[in-house]
Amino acid sequence: MKKVLITGAAGFLGSHLCDRFIKEGYYVIAMDNLITGDLKNIEHLFPLENFEFQHHDVSKFVHIPGKLDYILHFASPASPIDYLKIPIETLKVGSLGTLNLLGLAKEKKARILVASTSEVYGDPLVHPQNESYNGNVSPIGPRGVYDEAKRFMESITMAYHRFHGLDTRIVRIFNTYGSRMRLNDGRVVPAFMGQALRGEDLTVFGDGSQTRSFCYIDDQVEGIYRLLMSDYTDPINIGNPHETTIKEFAEEIIKLTGTDQKIIYKPLPQDDPTQREPDISRAKEILGWEPKVNRAEGLKNVFEYFKSLSPEELQKKEHRDFSGK
């Protein structure tokens, strides 16, 4: 049985990757420090013999006994509400965490896939964004703690690939949505869903003309899995190229939820990207991948998930207390 280590395993994306690798017959080692993850996302896997959980911060030395075939490094805060509250931890997991896991991959002769992000493109001057575009990022802006952590992650991963011959993969993940997202994590899909379900007005930042492209979780996981199993070592965009404005998206949510809230507008945060759409030509050509789930179907699934949450979860404003971090 092949063995895979998945970091950030109790998070939204990490937990779905655990499910996929269990389904594929792997022994899964799930690792998370639970700063932004939640054990409830993976508790259904605990009874399985081919699953184990380690409560650990990958910014500290990582030891896994025995053989290891694959490492998927998904540990990191991934929403602005989190990484703006814990900027140092965000930088550390992208730098020290990546260094520790690259060292582990080298020791075990394992293939490692690191989770980068569309945020490496910053507020892009090229549209749609392809992998050869180097981005427009402010290293000292508030969002720089996430953007630059991921850019460093890519750089050191390629250094290990070139210098040590390490078997590496880099995925640049664009906006993804699905079950197990936190309602209070600040990202637009759960934010709008939560506001609609609580009977609140939907908050749009700026004038709503900024664009995003939303990829359903099942499509994202399939793209990541195909990349891991491919022979391609340069970064690849995995996302949905069907772009929508935030204002149009808010209107879609109001229609889907059958609520009659207003849309209210607030100032756009500093360095918030005005356009976000992946060029997925490379993924189509190399991985034979493109998204299959349309937004109407995906949002319906997510709405059913959020409707199933308890009233306590629906009203929860903070995932955890970050004071003193």
Any idea which residues carry the catalytic annotation? 146
Burial of 132 (0-12, 13-18, 19+ CB in 10 A): exposed
Strands 27-32, 3-7: parallel, antiparallel or unpaired by DSSP? parallel
Place of tokens 């490379």: 282
Cβ-Cβ contacts under 8 Å for 219 (sequence gap 6 or more): 240, 291, 292, 293
Q: Strand, helix or coil at 32? A: strand
C-alpha distances out from residue 230 to 25, 26, 98, 111, Å:
18, 17, 21, 11
Instruction: Identify the CA nearest to 74 among candidates 184, 228, 185.
Output: 228
Measured CA to CA, the distance from residue 15 to residue 46 in angstroms comes to: 12
Measured CA to CA, the distance from residue 265 to residue 278 in angstroms comes to: 26
DSSP 60-119: S-----S---EEEE--S--SHHHHTTSHHHHHHIIIIIHHHHHHHHHHHT-EEEEEEEGG
Place of tokens 């979860």: 313
Phi first, then psi, for residue 169 (nearest 5°) are: -140, 145
CA of residue 73 relative to chain centroid, distance: 11
The C-alpha angle 246, 250, 252, rounded to 5 degrees, equals 115
